[in-house]
């Protein structure tokens, strides 16, 4: 059952701004919240959400991450003159203070904690906190990058303490590295921090050595920090999706978090002066959707950056559409990751190979994943004799088709691929013993293919006796709804109807639990398939040379 999506916003957080000249800070304006919330209202999205009031964070909340001396210092700022505020600001970098910013920072944090409270207590399934000041750059005793208190880092400590949460995944899709979050959890294996960021070989702000791909966490936390540097600008949708399919999602499913927190910065979208990337706002519908089957759907998105007001508003709307369960727009003309992205992808995977079994190999194969892609015309010629309307695909003809497929009388051939419409997956499984192998094959092979193929209909067939257990089946059904604007047709036997229907109705799939290492002997099957296909299917690439 879908308990709905929370939206947490209060216009008080628009009531602070830059009071002096500072080129580095002038982009962080109150209008960022006004246009974001306004767009949600205009598009009828605010009304579809559960409106939850903000609260003021307490000292105890703030001290979960920050030091007493830092909090005491910030407490003095409401009483400072303009000159004193300027003076106080000089000790930090790329941030400004204002008499009302302390109040707003407490509201931004309070909004974040209200969101996680309502998700953790099951009042809502997921939600978005529209806040400023942002948080992910602020550190234990320092403000930085427009951030005063680290909203998401505090939220992670808060849920561990209050709800005994064992594992928290933080996905930071903002275009800057959230160094404040990284520092909070670098030795903490219970919090997996993932961030991609404009880096340009350390030439881009905040110019830190520890933002590079080889910084993976310390001591017990080794492997629980994942840094993906973008060493070039103009990254596109394909680059972002490649990182999700081949790094974040495989690791996230293996980690199996109890809660997903998103540092939802939208300066990674096209038009943003900071990011200078080319990914379009609709990509955030897909990024959100791809995370929504983790943690039983418990996902809290918290606004960080985003400075192009048009791009920001559109990206916020795309995110909320997905949180509400609306089908994502079709991922138009994906052409595959650029070489720089492939290089980063390869570096990150090899840096984390020793910590995550899914990266040791592309996921084992207890399931024979036969990917049959059929052109509509082929289906029509061969199977639809009776349909009077030439374009109608009748259910009976589909079932006839399935029978032929299972006997492999119709096989994958190159030219078939480019007609269109059908992307047919027949998943033959030998029992559910190895959900991890299945999921890794879905994430590293099936989804990239599907996104690149961009079908207008997904036909999902559960072959008789396939033995796929319900939760795995629900994950597959849920993930595939990111394709074809959610137009998915499932042919199955009776037993699987309930779990399938709940997934088709938008319920999050149940968590699969922590995934163990898949038995290696099956691995080459999916690797071979990927190697064979990747020449034509760019999203399958993970390196610019054959996998070692």
Strands of the sheet containing 457-461, edge to edge, are: 367-372, 422-429, 457-461, 488-491
Q: How far apart are CA 161 and CA 63, in angstroms?
A: 13
Residue 134 engages ligand Q7Y in binding (rule: CB under 6 A): yes
Q: Is 506 in the site for ligand Q7Y (CB under 6 A)?
A: no
Binding pattern for the stretch 260-299 against Zn ion, x by CB under 5 A and - elsewhere: -----x-x--------------------------------
Residue 201 is among the residues annotated as catalytic for this protein: no
The contact pattern for ligand Q7Y, residues 273-292, with x = CB under 6 A and - = no contact, is: -x------------------
State the greatest distance between any 2 C-alpha atoms of the chain, in Å, as a whole number. 83
Q: Closest CB to ligand Q7Y among 206 and 363?
A: 206
Residue 304 binds ligand Q7Y, judged by CB under 6 A = yes
What DSSP line would sit under 305-317, residue for residue? ----HHHHHHHHH
Of 383, 401, 406, give the one whose Cα is nearest residue 465.
406
Q: Which residue is nearest to Zn ion (CB)?
A: 305
What is the chain's alpha carbon radius of gyration, rounded to the nearest angstrom? 24
**Binding of ligand Q7Y by 172 (CB under 6 A):** no
- Cα four-point dihedral sign 512, 515, 521, 522: positive
Among 70, 92, 102, 146, binds ligand Q7Y (CB under 6 A): 146
29: contact with ligand Q7Y by CB under 6 A: no
Close Cβ partners of 474 (under 8 Å, ≥ 6 residues apart): 293, 499, 500, 502, 503, 509, 510
272 belongs to the binding site for ligand Q7Y (CB under 6 A): no
By the 10 Å C-beta count (0-12 exposed, 13-18 middle, 19+ buried), 274 is classed as buried
Q: Which of Zn ion, ligand Q7Y, none does 473 bind, CB closer than 5 to 8 A by kind? A: none
Q: Which one of 137, 286, 289, 361 is the catalytic residue?
A: 137
Footprint on residues 382-441 left by ligand Q7Y (CB under 6 A)? none
Q: Tell me the residue nearest to ligand Q7Y as measured from the CB.
A: 305
DSSP letters along 11-58, please?
Answer: GGGGS----S--TTTTT--THHHHHHHHHHHHTT-GGGSEE----PPP
Exactly one of 305, 327, 444, 478 binds Zn ion (CB under 5 A); that residue is 305
User: Minimum Å distance from CB 267 to Zn ion?
Assistant: 4
Residue 376 touches which member of Zn ion, ligand Q7Y, none, C-beta under 5-8 Å by kind: none
Please provide the size of the chain in residues. 548
E-state strands within 399-511: 422-429, 457-461, 488-491
Question: Shortest approach of Zn ion to residue 17 CB, angstroms?
Answer: 18
Distance of CA 390 to the CA centre of its chain: 40
My answer on whether omega of the bond before 206 falls inside 30° of 0, hence cis, is: yes
**Which residue from 205, 370, 380, 420 is in contact with ligand Q7Y, where contact means CB under 6 A?**
205
208 makes contact with ligand Q7Y (CB under 6 A): no
Of residues 254, 267, 452, 522, which one binds ligand Q7Y by CB under 6 A?
267
**Ramachandran region of residue 435, left (φ > 0), alpha (ψ -120 to 50) or beta?**
alpha
160 in contact with ligand Q7Y (CB under 6 A): no
Q: Which CB sits closer to ligand Q7Y, 138 or 511?
A: 138
Which residues are known catalytic residues? 137
Binding site for Zn ion (CB under 5 A): 174, 176, 265, 267, 305
| Binding site residues, ligand Q7Y, CB under 6 A | 24, 94, 134, 137, 145-146, 174, 176, 205, 265, 267, 274, 304-305
């Amino acid at each position: 059952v879908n308990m709905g999506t929370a939206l947490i916003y209060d216009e008080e957080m628009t009531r602070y701004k830059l009071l002096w000249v500072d080129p580095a800070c002038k982009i962080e304006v109150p209008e960022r919240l006004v246009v974001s919330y306004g767009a949600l209202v205009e598009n009828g999205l605010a009304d579809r959400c559960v409106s939850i009031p903000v609260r003021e964070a307490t000292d105890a909340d703030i001290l979960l991450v920050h030091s007493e001396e830092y909090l005491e210092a910030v407490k003095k700022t409401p009483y400072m003159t303009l000159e004193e505020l300027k003076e106080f600001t000089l000790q930090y970098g790329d941030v400004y203070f204002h008499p009302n910013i302390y109040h707003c920072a407490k509201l931004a944090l309070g909004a974040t904690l209200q969101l996680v409270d309502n998700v953790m207590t099951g009042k809502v399934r997921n939600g978005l906190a529209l806040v400023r000041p942002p948080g992910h750059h602020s550190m234990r005793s320092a403000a930085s990058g427009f951030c005063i208190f680290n909203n998401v880092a505090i939220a992670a400590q808060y849920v561990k303490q209050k709800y005994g949460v064992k594992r928290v995944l933080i996905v930071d899709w903002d275009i800057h590295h959230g160094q404040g979050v990284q520092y909070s959890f670098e030795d903490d294996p219970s919090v997996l921090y993932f961030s991609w960021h404009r880096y340009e070989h350390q030439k881009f702000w905040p110019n830190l050595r520890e933002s590079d791909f080889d910084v993976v966490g310390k001591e017990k936390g080794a492997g629980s920090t994942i840094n993906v540097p973008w060493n070039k600008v103009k990254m596109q949708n394909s680059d972002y999706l490649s990182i999700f399919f081949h790094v974040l999602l495989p690791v996230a499913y293996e980690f199996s978090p109890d809660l997903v927190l998103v540092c939802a910065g939208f300066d990674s979208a096209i038009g943003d002066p900071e990011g200078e990337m080319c990914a379009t706002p609709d990509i955030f519908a897909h990024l959100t959707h791809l995370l929504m089957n983790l943690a039983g759907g418990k996902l809290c998105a918290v606004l960080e950056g985003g400075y192009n007001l048009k791009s920001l508003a559109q990206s916020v709307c795309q995110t909320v559409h997905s949180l509400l369960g609306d089908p994502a727009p079709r991922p138009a003309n994906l052409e595959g990751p650029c070489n720089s992205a492939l290089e980063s992808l390869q570096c990150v995977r090899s840096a984390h190979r020793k910590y995550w079994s899914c990266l040791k190999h592309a996921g084992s194969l207890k399931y024979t994943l036969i990917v049959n892609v059929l052109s509509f015309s082929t289906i029509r010629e061969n199977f639809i004799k009776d349909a009077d309307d030439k374009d109608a695909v009748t259910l009976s003809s589909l079932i006839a088709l399935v029978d032929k497929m299972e006997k492999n009388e119709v096989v994958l051939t190159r030219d078939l691929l480019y007609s269109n419409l059908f992307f047919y997956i027949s998943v033959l499984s030998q029992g559910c013993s190895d959900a991890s192998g299945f999921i890794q094959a879905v994430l590293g092979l099936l989804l990239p293919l599907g996104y690149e193929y961009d079908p207008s209909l997904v036909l999902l067939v559960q072959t008789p006796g396939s033995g796929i257990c319900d939760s795995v089946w629900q994950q597959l059904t849920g993930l595939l709804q990111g394709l074809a604007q959610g137009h998915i047709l499932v042919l199955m036997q009776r037993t699987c109807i309930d779990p399938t229907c709940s997934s088709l109705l938008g319920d999050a799939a149940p968590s699969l639990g922590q995934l163990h290492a898949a038995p290696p002997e099956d691995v080459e099957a999916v690797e071979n398939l990927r190697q064979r296909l990747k020449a034509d299917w760019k999203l399958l690439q993970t390196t610019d040379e054959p996998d070692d």
